[in-house]
Amino acid sequence: MSETLTGKTIVLGVTGSIAAYKAADLVSRLKKRGHAVHVVMTRDAQEFITPLTLQVLSREPVTGSLYDEKQNWHPGHIELADKADLLVVAPATANAIARFAHGIADDSLGAIYLATLAPVLIAPAMNGKMWQHPATRANVEILRERGVRFIGPEEGLLACGYEGIGRLWPVEAIEAEIQKMLSQED
């Protein structure tokens, strides 16, 4: 695992939730703390926020596809997996959680998840019914048994119009949990 001069290396996965726009605030906060932030976006996430926004804030190229990795012989997803001091997925959809639980690596984020030895923090964001569905609950339990940490979701008004659990945990609380996890690494 690598360190930058002033901070740690965080790989931030962003999945296809309306809460994806909050990743911009999280990237900005982590950069201000001196961390290197490498953003990996699913194709669905790119429907909610542009890679360019996160590239400018992180000052690093954004990975959006396994096919973005044509710059050199070394697979970029393996390089990011090796570099990471922490893998954070915020927001994490039910789909991303299911793919991690079942070892599906058909995109860069899934491949990085399977290849990294770094600790993993997942901040879910989805419809409350999806969060409470037995399949999602089982997938979360599988990941917890493997040592993955979860933060949230919280209750409130959801983008779908429902009131209930499913909102992304507040960005400042995610930032605090990241700092806590990184300090435990030292």
Q: Is the dihedral of CA 93, 16, 19, 109 positive or negative?
A: positive
Annotation says 160 is catalytic: yes
- Return the structure tokens found at 110: 């899934």
Among 81, 110, 107, 101, which residue's Cα sits nearest to residue 10? 81
CA angle 53, 17, 3 (to 5 degrees): 55
Residue 158, number of CB atoms within 10 A of its CB? 21
What type of residue is 132? Answer: Q
Q: What share of the chain is helix, strand, coil (3-state, %, to 5)?
A: 45, 20, 35
| Pairwise CA distance, residues 172 & 180, whole Å | 12
> How many angstroms from the chain centroid is the CA of residue 76?
17
**Candidate list 159, 160, 163, 185, residue with the active-site label:** 160
Give the residue numbers annotated as catalytic, written as ranges.
160
